[in-house]
Structure 1
């Protein structure tokens, strides 16, 4: 007789997504209160067989209240991050009409797992993953009303700042696959 799978039960909803980050010091240095992942612009997501992993690139809904001086001098108004989900499983993607705003929601499951949902107009993404999220490639830039990412990006991490002054091409695996 085949063993039936245990039902996954949602234990609790997280209070704040930043509580799931394995390193949030960079965001904490920029914000007095890290904004929720609501009405964020989902720029891209990258799937990798390593892990397996999904890495999303999003513009946060509010600009930091403590940006570095250089960012203020450049009149930047948008903060972008890469949010990485490890040990991803049960991925479902339905639709996508960019650049619609999306919301992220997280439900904590048994065995240190999360059910992650990304929803917006014309988009539904859901997957399970590790309950420890990575954040990286924190950058600031000047967004225009049309929303394209053109021009200078200023990066928070020193290595990114030395390597990039704008977004690299999508085939640049050191940028899109690692945070």
Structure 2
């Protein structure tokens, strides 16, 4: 729906074959699924502010609307794998699938659902991944509103960040 922010950073839309899913937000209004993901690569020409701050990972949210038939198994965050989106069934619908491995041995995640055909990209930010793989610490947001409101990842109870 709004690929411009990612295209401005990468020059193209990044490949989603090796993303790290950090969280899943299910909202009955819509119904909506929001995935918070680390993109698989850092931009080749990131903003100078990101370079100066030593940032090495880009994270964003993908929001899917009018979700039906959701299935989630083996949830062991963070999970690394590929997101696939393919046209499905009725007009203007798609099937979203993710299958990936988790942080523990033998763990992983499988997610699937049907939804409206567009995806909204939200809350694009950069951070330095921690030694333990966590995404805590200082964060620089692309959106001026997010940058004014947050200097780190908000808690999951922050509805204006994780919901509409």
| TM-score in terms of structure 1 length | 0.84
Shift >6 Å, 4+ stretches: none
Task: For residue 29 of structure 1, report the CA deviation from its aligned partner.
Answer: 0.8
Q: Which residue of 2 aligns with 1:118?
A: 98
How far is the alpha carbon of 1:153 from its aligned partner?
0.5
Partners of 1:150 and 1:133 lie apart in 2 by: 26
Of 130, 141, 146, which residue of structure 2 is paired with 1:160? 146
The alignment status of 1:42 with 2:21, answered yes or no, reads yes
Q: Which is greater in Rg?
A: 1
User: Within 1, Cα distance between the matches of 2:91 and 2:74?
Assistant: 30
Inter-partner Cα distance in structure 2 for 1:105 and 1:50: 24
Query: Contact between 2:42 and 2:56, CA under 8 Å: does it hold in 1?
Result: yes
SS in 2 for 1:129: strand
Which of 142, 146, 150 in structure 1 is aligned with 2:136? Answer: 150
Q: Which segment is superposed worse, 104-113 or 129-138?
A: 104-113
Task: Find the aligned partners of 2:124 and 2:5 in 1 and give their Cα distance.
Answer: 8
Secondary structure, counterpart of 1:61 in structure 2: coil
Distance in 1 separating the partners of 2:129 and 2:86: 32
Alpha carbons 1:29, 1:66 under 8 Å: kept: no
Which string of whole-angstrom CA distances, capped at 9 and with x for unpartnered residues, describes residues 39-96 of structure 1? 2110001000110000000000000123211111001000000000000000011111
Give 5+ residue unaligned stretches, structure 1.
1-21
- After TM superposition, the score normalised by the length of structure 2 is 0.92
Shift of 1:33: 2.8
Distance 1:118 1:49 in 2: 21
Partner of 2:105: none
What is the aligned residue count? Answer: 157
- Where 1:161 maps in the other structure, the secondary structure is helix
3-state DSSP of counterpart to 2:7 = helix
Task: Name the one with the larger strand percent.
Answer: 2
